[in-house]
Structure 1
Amino acid sequence: MSKETLAGIAADLRAGRAVELSSADFPCFSAEALKGNMHVSPDDLGKLSAALTAEDAPTFERAARAMAEGDLAWLGFKVVFDPAAAQANTDNEVTKKYGDTGSADGAGMVFFCNDAKEIVSARTPSPRDVFQMKDITRGPGMHNEQFDGLTWLSVPLFNQVRVWLLGASDAAAEVSALAAHVGFAVTAVDYDPAYLSPERFPDAERVLLDGGNFDELDKLTPASGDYVCVLTRGHMFDPEGCVWAVKHNVRYVGMMGCKGKNSTVHDLVLARGASEADWERIKRPIGLKFGAKTPAELAISIVAELVDVRYTQRYSPEARARHEESLGR
């Protein structure tokens, strides 16, 4: 997805030209993303495309502007598979009341929504639709299957955070799967193809180093907003990983290991030119503390911390305070 693609769609719609949205640009409609979903198929993107008119151009223009401005925003899709059920009022004693109108006109729709809850769409949504449109800001939707007859999909208009996994350990393989599942872009690095295999890291970009060690790590350059998890097999190359991460001043770096091992790594990291301040930037041990022991449990701990760091990074102190208050914390 690019702002140029969105602007091009808007221009075609304003000129009265037919557009065909692609699952390559809107991967929430890919066969992989919809696997097991009996209500939606990739064909639904074609149906939504065919229904677009010039009135939808402002939605795509606003989405393009959001990408240009780095806004925390989404392009959403209302997919209706049973119009009568979608329009029926299904309020009960549990759900919040949304009036006597169900899902507007029972037709599909493309819309824009950002974290400030600004909504742009070609048609006026019903109160129930607005509730679900706003919910895509929880990405892609906290209650997308709540009401009968329709569902909601979305694509983020901001870049994924990249997580570098230094080492193809068992814990790293578990982290890779979980991190990809919650929306991170994952790059796994190791020198042994037997460990850094497609089977162990199916959702990650894999970087195979030559030389039987991590000397070639210096040929790689992370972005300043990236996260680094130092998870080398047997901790053998943890010092190299830590030095590489702090040298590039990444947003977050964490290292797995016990207190005694970390003391040794500390001395090796400083001997390689890092400062004491650099060392203090490294979260050690990596992950939230809740008694995790196995690789899978450790991965839950680590990815939970990554999610928390990403949450803090994306939202203002005011927005976080409102969220914490809503949770009663």
Structure 2
Amino acid sequence: MKKETLEAIVVALQEGCTPVLPVEEFACFSEEATAGDAHKGPETLQAIAATLTPADIPTFQRAIRAIDEGDLAWLGFKVVFDSQAAVTNVDNEVTKKYGQQGSADGQPLVFFCNDAKEIVASRPYSPRDTFQMKDVTRGPSMHNDQFDGLTWASEPLFGKVRVWLLGASDAAVEVAALANHVGFHVIAVDYDPAFLSPERFPEAERILLHGGNFTELANMPARPEDYVCVLTRGHMFDPEACVWACQNGVHYVGMMGCSGKNDRVRELVLEGGVSEEDWQRVKRPIGLKFGAKTPAELAIAIAAELVDVRYRQRYSQEARDLHDAHLGR
């Protein structure tokens, strides 16, 4: 989400105009994200934009502050397709009770919610609205179609974690699809265009190296918050990939391979100028341990580990303990 987009919305509302909510910025309403959904689409976003008034300015101002502060926060949308059902539908007999009222009203709403469960909205909301508004922090919400007459959507105000896949191996192809699906920005790197093709990596950013090796990788900067998966084909360029990840000080780096191969890679990595301390930061073998063998199975293990690393990076131990206690773990 671009701060400038939110600032332009605020200016439009201050001037009494209908703001522009670009689908590119509010991707939860894109054709791709809403395919097969009868109640959400690009036209829904424009209909919601037309309902906004100066009363909604504080919602967008709070979103701007969240971006400035690096807060884990979302802009959420209540989408109403049957006003009467949205208001009169009461809780079912299975889930927790939230009173005898459905939604507070039958009108669409844009609201702010952060991970601390702070809500900012232009109109009052019912206890059940509160339940579903807080649920956007699961991003996207899990209970968005639980009740009749309305549904929900949300857009994060923070950027995606970048995952570098060094090597266009078959495992990398599988990891790219899964990592993209669970909300990472995937960057696939290789020197062979036949392996690093749009067909193999349709949703990843692709970087083609020259010279038939990974030498050019040294000229590319990574960010401290990035993740790196070393998945070079045949493990031939694992040492160069590990050296690059360690020298860039990325948050996470993992490498495939058995202990025997890793011992030789260690020697080459240390020869490349990496300290033993930094080498020990390399997770090897990469991925959660549960008996995965095929590229697809290995990708599940790797993607699961990426999700776990991201969870631990974003949340304190106290917050994780509370989450586990809430789920009865």
TM-score bucket of the superposed structures, by smaller chain: over 0.9
Deviation at 1:285, TM superposition (A): 0.3
Aligned match of 1:306: 306
Deviation at 1:328, TM superposition (A): 2.7
Deviation at 1:326, TM superposition (A): 1.7
Q: Which amino acid aligns with 1:319?
A: A
SS of residue paired to 1:78: strand
Deviation at 1:88, TM superposition (A): 2.3
Unmatched runs of 5 consecutive residues or more in structure 1:
none
Aligned match of 1:58: 58
Q: Which amino acid aligns with 1:123?
A: R
Mapped contact 1:229–1:253 kept (Cα < 8 A): yes
SS of residue paired to 2:307: helix
How many matched pairs? 329
Q: Is residue 254 from structure 1 mapped to residue 254 from structure 2 by the alignment?
A: yes
SS of residue paired to 1:321: helix
Deviation at 1:4, TM superposition (A): 2.2
Q: Is residue 127 from structure 1 mapped to residue 127 from structure 2 by the alignment?
A: yes
Aligned match of 2:15: 15
Deviation larger for 165-174 or 100-109: 100-109
Mapped contact 2:140–2:154 kept (Cα < 8 A): yes
Q: Which runs of 4+ in 1 moved over 4 A?
A: none
SS of residue paired to 1:113: strand
Aligned match of 1:145: 145
Deviation larger for 226-235 or 32-41: 32-41
How does 1:1-329 map onto structure 2 within 5 Å? Answer: 1-329=1-329
Q: Within 1, Cα distance between the matches of 2:90 and 2:60?
A: 31
Q: Within 2, Cα distance between the matches of 1:52 and 1:258?
A: 57
| RMSD, aligned α-carbons | 1.0
Q: Within 2, Cα distance between the matches of 1:164 and 1:85?
A: 46
Q: Within 2, Cα distance between the matches of 1:51 and 1:328?
A: 41
Deviation larger for 55-64 or 95-104: 95-104
Deviations 1:184-228 (A, max 9, x none): 000000000111011110110000000001011011111010000
Unmatched runs of 5 consecutive residues or more in structure 2:
none
Deviation at 1:19, TM superposition (A): 1.1
Mapped contact 1:20–1:50 kept (Cα < 8 A): no
SS of residue paired to 2:187: strand
Q: Within 1, Cα distance between the matches of 2:37 and 2:196?
A: 31
Deviation larger for 82-91 or 225-234: 82-91
SS of residue paired to 1:240: helix
Mapped contact 1:12–1:19 kept (Cα < 8 A): yes
Q: Which amino acid aligns with 1:91?
A: D
Q: Within 1, Cα distance between the matches of 2:83 and 2:202?
A: 38
Q: Which amino acid aligns with 1:30?
A: S
Mapped contact 1:77–1:153 kept (Cα < 8 A): yes
Give the TM-score, by structure 2 length: 0.98
Mapped contact 2:224–2:251 kept (Cα < 8 A): yes
Deviation at 1:260, TM superposition (A): 1.0
Deviation at 1:11, TM superposition (A): 2.2
Mapped contact 2:225–2:251 kept (Cα < 8 A): yes
Deviations 1:116-135 (A, max 9, x none): 10000111111111100000
SS of residue paired to 1:40: coil
Q: Which amino acid aligns with 1:207?
A: I
Deviation at 1:10, TM superposition (A): 1.2
SS of residue paired to 1:164: strand
SS of residue paired to 1:198: coil
SS of residue paired to 1:147: coil
Mapped contact 1:3–1:65 kept (Cα < 8 A): no
Mapped contact 2:90–2:99 kept (Cα < 8 A): no
Deviations 1:128-157 (A, max 9, x none): 111000000011101111112211111101
SS of residue paired to 2:283: coil
Deviation at 1:89, TM superposition (A): 2.6
Q: Within 2, Cα distance between the matches of 1:326 and 1:32?
A: 33
Q: Within 1, Cα distance between the matches of 2:56 and 2:108?
A: 12
Mapped contact 2:8–2:19 kept (Cα < 8 A): no
Q: Within 1, Cα distance between the matches of 2:207 and 2:136?
A: 33
SS of residue paired to 2:111: strand
Deviation at 1:327, TM superposition (A): 2.7
Q: Which amino acid aligns with 1:198?
A: P
Q: Within 1, Cα distance between the matches of 2:281 and 2:106?
A: 52
